[in-house]
């Protein structure tokens, strides 16, 4: 697994995400470093397929393209950690839950390793690896086809396994949330599994960082109004907040860590 990005590269990535494009000269001025240093940073980010090189700088990938797994891990990494910790506060010991595919649900899994008496069902091999040695977790992994890109398990066998359980909590992520509140993803097979997960849970928790409001994906999982709780890392857009209020969906914003505030 590649290491997380150093702080300057995280800042460059966030600027590119916000503005769409960054240039060597502007970044060199901003960080008071040489253009050669910035070119190395951009080369590193492009080698990881997080940014795309263009003449004089780099651009953030199209918001309709599903990024590579490692790239998704690093985008909003701090926010995902905060989301994971906040969700862990909502889950009591001795609960049952299902976690689906996604880098944010993996952050939730990391935060759950200190819990006791949990039963966790997942179709995410990364989640399974995180929780496999947690002493207080009984782990169940679905069968099915493993996607090599992100170690997610999809297909009819995964759905069949999930339908055998009725759990306290479903914790799901989404690749995008549109302005109408639709929860979207890229792979219809993954969406079918996510829909099965939601159907088997007494309480549904959506986890998504704020970048998901800026993306689009073609396949609909469901609607944000169907959730019981939405945990994110920044206040959602007004339209989404209103949809949640009308539907009775509780919105929890995971505040930045002190170290992030100091750096910012």
**Tokens for 231?**
């945990």
Helix, strand or coil for residue 134? coil
Place of tokens 């997080």: 50
Strands 137-141 and 229-232: unpaired
Question: What domains does the chain contain, in order, with CATH numbers?
Answer: 7-61 (1.10.10.10), 76-263 (3.40.50.1360)
Arithmetic mean of pLDDT, 164-180? 95
Taking residue 55's Cβ as centre, other Cβ atoms within 10 Å add up to: 6
Distances (CA, A) of 176 to 45, 214, 223, 248: 22, 7, 11, 21
219-223 sheet: strands from edge to edge: 176-177, 182-185, 219-223
Output 141 or 7, whichever has higher pLDDT: 141
Output 22 or 225, whichever has higher pLDDT: 225
Average pLDDT in the chain: 88
**pTM of the predicted model as reported, rounded to 2 decimal places:** 0.74
Residue 126 scores a pLDDT above 60: yes
**Tokens for 156?**
């009819």
Arithmetic mean of pLDDT, 257-264? 48
Cβ atoms of 37 and 2 within 8 Å: the answer is: no
DSSP state of 72: H
Arithmetic mean of pLDDT, 4-31? 85
């Amino acid at each position: 697994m590649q290491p997380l990005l150093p702080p300057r590269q995280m800042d460059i990535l966030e600027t590119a995400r916000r503005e769409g494009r960054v240039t060597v000269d502007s970044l060199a001025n901003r960080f008071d470093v040489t253009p050669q240093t910035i070119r190395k940073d951009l080369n590193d980010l492009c080698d990881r397929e997080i940014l795309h090189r263009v003449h004089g700088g780099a651009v953030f990938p199209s918001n309709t393209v599903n990024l590579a797994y490692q790239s998704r891990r690093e985008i909003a990494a701090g926010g995902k950690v905060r989301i994971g910790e906040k969700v862990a506060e909502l889950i009591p010991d001795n609960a049952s839950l299902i976690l689906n595919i996604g880098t944010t649900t993996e952050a939730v899994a990391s935060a759950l390793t200190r819990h006791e008496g949990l039963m966790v069902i997942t179709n995410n091999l990364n989640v399974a690896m995180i929780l496999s040695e947690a002493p207080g977790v009984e782990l169940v992994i679905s069968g099915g086809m493993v996607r090599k890109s992100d170690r997610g398990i999809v297909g009819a066998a995964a759905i069949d396994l999930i339908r055998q359980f009725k759990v306290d909590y479903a914790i799901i992520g989404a690749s995008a949330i549109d302005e109408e509140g639709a929860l979207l993803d890229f792979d219809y097979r993954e969406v079918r599994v996510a829909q099965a997960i939601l159907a088997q849970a007494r309480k549904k928790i959506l986890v998504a960082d704020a970048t998901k409001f800026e993306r689009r994906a073609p396949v609909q999982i469901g609607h944000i109004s169907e959730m019981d709780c939405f945990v994110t890392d920044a206040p959602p857009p007004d339209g989404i907040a209103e949809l949640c209020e009308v539907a009775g969906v509780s919105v929890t914003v995971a505040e930045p860590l002190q170290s992030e505030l100091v750096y910012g």
